[in-house]
C-alpha cells in the first residue's frame, strides 16, 4: 500500500474478520479489529474445516495445527435415508485431500493471534452499535467506548449483522437461511474416526445431521434445517436433535459417550441470497454477507477467503484513491467469480437432498461408480460448480 495507508476498522473477529485483518496488516494498512467478546470465546459451529478452509489457513500461516487441537480427516462417511452407507476418501486433487475438525474456541483464537502478530490492533469487549458515513470517512459508535473514525469499515460481525443493518442491506428471507444446533460429546468411540460423518435420517428430513471427530475422544454432533421448513413444521430443533441422537445409526456411534454442556443453535444465511456486499466505504464479509454453502452449511472457508478478497479490493481502492462502492468493486468481481456458481448449484441440490428416494439413488449410484463418487465428494466438500450428464444419467437410469 502507498505511504498514506488507510485506517480500516473491522467489526467482528471471527474467521472473516481475522483473515481480512491479517492480509490487510501484511499489506501495511492500519487495522483496528473490534470484537464484542474476549478470547478465547466460543462460536456455535460444527467445527468442520473443508479442504479449501485448510488451504486458506495455510495461506494465513496456520498450516500446522497440532493434533491436540485439530482432528485431521481424510474421508467422508455418509448414510442415506434408506441405509446406503458410503465412505469416500477425499481425493488429493482437493487441496491435498485433507480436512479437519477443530473447536471454534481454539481456531478463532489462533486466527486472531495471527492477525495481531501481523500488526492489527485488537480491541476486545467492544460492541459496535452503529455506523455513520460522510464524505470524509466512517464513524463507528461503540457501546461503552469512544467512537472510532476510519476510512473503510469491514462488516465481519456474523449473522445477524449490526453493520449489515446499518448499511441498509435487507435481512435474509426465511427460505434463504437455516438454523442449526450442535452439542459436544466426550468419551466417543467413532466407527470412522478419520471421517466427517453425515446422516440423512428419513424421519428427520429435510433436516440432516453430522458427527465430526475432535481430538481427545470428543465429537461435535449437530443438526440443521432450512428456516422456513422448520417454521412450517412447528418442530423445535433441540427436540429434533434428541431424536437424531436416539436414531439407531447415531446412537451406535455415541454409545458410551457423554454430552458436554448444552445444545446450542444459531442462524446460517445462504449464499444464494448474497448480493448486498459493497457500499461506499464499506464491505460485508463472511456470514454478514451471507457466504454459507446452502447444502452443507459450511461457511468458514468463505469467511476466510472473503477476507483475502476484501484486502485485495481495499488495496485497489487505496491505489485509485476511491473508497466509493465503485472503487471497492473488485471485491464483488472476486467473490462472484469464486463463490456464485457454487452457491446457486448447492441451493438447487438442496431440493434433491430433501427427497429420500432420490438421495438413496444418488448414494447407490455413487456406490457403483467411481466417477459418481468423485462428483459426490466434490459436492460434499463444497467444491462442485456443476453436475455432469453422466452423474444425472447414473442416478436417473440406475446404472
Ligand atoms: C450449528 C452450526 C454449525 C456449523 N458448522 C459449520 C462447519 O462445520 N463448517 C463450516 O465451515 N461452517 C459451519 N457453520 C457456519 C460457520 O459457523 C460460519 O459460516 C462462520 O462462523 C462465519 O464466520 P464469520 O467470521 O463470518 O462470522 P462469526 O464466526 O459469526 O464471527 C463474527 C464475530 O463478530 C463478533 N460480533 C458480532 N457482532 C458484533 C458487534 N456488534 N460488535 C463487535 N463484534 C461483534 C462476534 O462475537 C464474532 O466473534 C456452522 C454454523 C452453525 C450455526
- Does some domain include residue 80? no
Best residue among 22, 34, 303 to mutate for probing ligand 1's pocket (most ligand atoms within 8 Å of CB) is 303
Domains: count for the chain: 3
What pLDDT is recorded for position 1?
60
- Residue 259 and residue 167 share a domain: no
- Residue 314 and residue 195 share a domain: no
Is residue 271 lining ligand 1, measured as CB closer than 6 Å? no
What pLDDT is recorded for position 135?
80
Q: Provide the residue-wise pLDDT of the chain in tens; the chain has 399 residues.
A: 655 678 999 999 999 999 999 999 999 999 999 999 999 999 999 999 999 999 999 999 998 888 899 999 999 999 999 999 999 999 999 999 999 999 999 999 999 999 999 999 999 999 999 999 888 899 999 997 789 999 999 999 999 999 999 999 999 999 999 999 999 999 999 999 999 999 999 999 999 999 999 999 999 999 999 999 999 999 999 999 999 999 999 999 999 999 999 999 999 999 999 999 999 999 999 999 999 999 999 999 999 999 999 999 999 999 999 999 999 999 999 999 999 999 999 999 998 888 999 999 999 999 999 999 999 999 988 899 899 998 888 888 876
- Residue 290 and residue 237 share a domain: no
- Residue 131 and residue 20 share a domain: yes
Helices (H), the chain: 15-26, 51-59, 104-118, 162-166, 227-233, 237-246, 248-253, 286-289, 300-320, 330-353, 356-368, 370-380, 389-397
How many whole angstroms separate alpha carbon 349 and alpha carbon 355?
A: 10
- Residue 287 and residue 194 share a domain: no
- Residue 106 and residue 54 share a domain: yes
Cα(288) to centroid of ligand 1, in Å? 9
- Does some domain include residue 227? yes
What pLDDT is recorded for position 382?
87
How many whole angstroms separate alpha carbon 220 and alpha carbon 102?
A: 9
Cα distances (Å, whole numbers) of residue 81 to 88, 253, 295:
17, 17, 16
How many whole angstroms separate alpha carbon 327 and alpha carbon 196?
A: 41
- Residue 232 and residue 102 share a domain: no
- Does some domain include residue 334? yes
Is residue 162 lining ligand 1, measured as CB closer than 6 Å? yes
Is residue 140 lining ligand 1, measured as CB closer than 6 Å? no
Best residue among 297, 306, 310 to mutate for probing ligand 1's pocket (most ligand atoms within 8 Å of CB) is 297
- Residue 40 and residue 159 share a domain: yes
- Residue 237 and residue 305 share a domain: no
Evaluated on CA atoms 289, 295, 297, 298, the torsion sign reads negative
Is residue 12 lining ligand 1, measured as CB closer than 6 Å? yes
What pLDDT is recorded for position 399?
63
End position of a domain, from candidates 235, 250, 268: 268
**How many CA atoms lie within 13 Å of 72's alpha carbon, on the beta-carbon side?**
11
- Residue 181 and residue 279 share a domain: no
How many whole angstroms separate alpha carbon 83 and alpha carbon 192?
A: 16
In 3D space, the residue among 42, 40, 22 whose CA is nearest the CA of residue 31 turns out to be 22
In 3D space, the residue among 245, 256, 290, 252 whose CA is nearest the CA of residue 272 turns out to be 290
End position of a domain, from candidates 268, 285, 318: 268
In 3D space, the residue among 398, 353, 394 whose CA is nearest the CA of residue 373 turns out to be 394
Domain assignment of residue 157, given as a range: 7-71+95-173+271-347
- Residue 281 and residue 264 share a domain: no
Q: What is the pLDDT of residues 169-227, one digit of tens each?
A: 999 999 999 999 999 999 999 999 999 999 999 999 999 999 999 999 999 999 999 99
Amino acid at each position: 500500500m502507498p505511504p498514506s495507508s488507510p485506517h480500516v476498522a473491522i467489526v467482528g473477529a471471527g474467521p472473516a474478520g481475522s483473515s481480512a485483518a491479517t492480509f490487510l496488516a501484511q499489506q501495511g494498512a492500519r487495522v483496528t479489529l473490534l470484537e464484542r467478546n474476549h478470547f478465547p470465546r466460543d462460536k456455535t459451529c460444527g467445527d468442520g474445516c473443508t479442504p479449501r478452509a485448510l488451504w486458506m489457513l495455510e495461506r494465513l500461516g496456520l498450516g500446522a495445527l497440532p493434533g491436540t487441537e485439530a482432528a485431521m480427516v481424510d474421508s467422508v462417511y455418509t448414510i442415506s435415508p434408506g441405509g446406503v452407507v458410503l465412505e469416500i476418501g477425499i481425493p488429493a486433487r482437493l487441496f491435498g485431500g485433507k480436512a479437519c475438525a477443530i473447536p471454534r474456541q481454539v481456531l478463532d483464537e489462533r486466527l486472531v493471534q495471527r492477525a495481531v502478530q501481523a500488526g492489527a490492533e485488537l480491541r476486545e469487549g467492544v460492541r459496535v452499535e452503529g455506523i455513520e458515513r460522510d464524505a470524509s470517512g466512517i464513524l463507528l459508535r461503540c457501546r461503552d467506548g469512544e467512537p472510532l473514525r476510519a476510512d473503510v469499515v469491514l462488516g465481519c460481525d456474523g449473522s445477524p449483522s449490526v453493520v449489515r443493518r446499518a448499511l441498509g442491506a435487507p435481512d435474509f428471507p426465511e427460505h434463504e437461511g437455516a438454523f442449526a444446533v450442535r452439542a459436544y460429546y466426550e468419551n466417543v468411540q467413532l466407527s470412522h474416526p478419520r471421517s466427517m460423518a453425515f446422516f440423512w435420517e428419513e424421519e428427520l428430513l429435510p433436516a440432516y445431521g453430522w458427527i465430526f471427530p475432535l481430538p481427545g475422544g470428543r465429537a461435535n454432533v449437530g443438526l440443521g434445517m432450512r428456516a422456513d421448513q422448520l417454521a412450517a413444521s412447528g418442530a423445535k430443533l433441540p427436540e429434533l436433535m434428541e431424536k437424531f441422537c436416539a436414531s439407531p445409526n447415531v446412537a451406535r456411534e455415541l454409545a458410551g459417550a457423554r454430552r458436554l454442556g448444552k445444545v446450542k443453535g444459531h442462524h446460517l444465511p445462504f449464499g444464494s441470497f448474497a448480493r448486498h456486499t459493497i457500499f461506499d466505504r464499506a464491505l460485508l464479509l463472511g456470514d454478514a454477507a451471507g457466504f454459507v454453502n446452502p447444502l452443507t452449511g459450511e461457511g468458514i472457508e468463505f469467511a476466510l477467503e472473503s477476507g483475502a478478497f476484501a484486502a485485495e479490493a481495499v488495496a485497489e481502492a487505496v491505489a485509485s484513491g476511491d473508497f466509493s462502492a465503485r472503487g471497492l468493486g473488485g471485491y464483488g468481481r472476486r467473490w462472484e467469480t469464486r463463490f456464485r456458481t457454487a452457491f446457486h448449484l448447492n441451493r438447487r441440490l438442496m431440493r434433491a437432498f430433501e427427497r429420500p428416494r432420490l438421495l438413496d439413488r444418488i448414494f447407490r449410484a455413487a456406490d457403483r461408480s467411481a466417477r459418481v463418487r468423485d462428483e459426490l465428494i466434490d459436492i460434499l466438500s463444497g467444491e462442485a460448480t456443476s453436475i455432469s450428464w453422466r452423474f444425472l444419467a447414473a442416478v436417473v437410469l440406475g446404472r
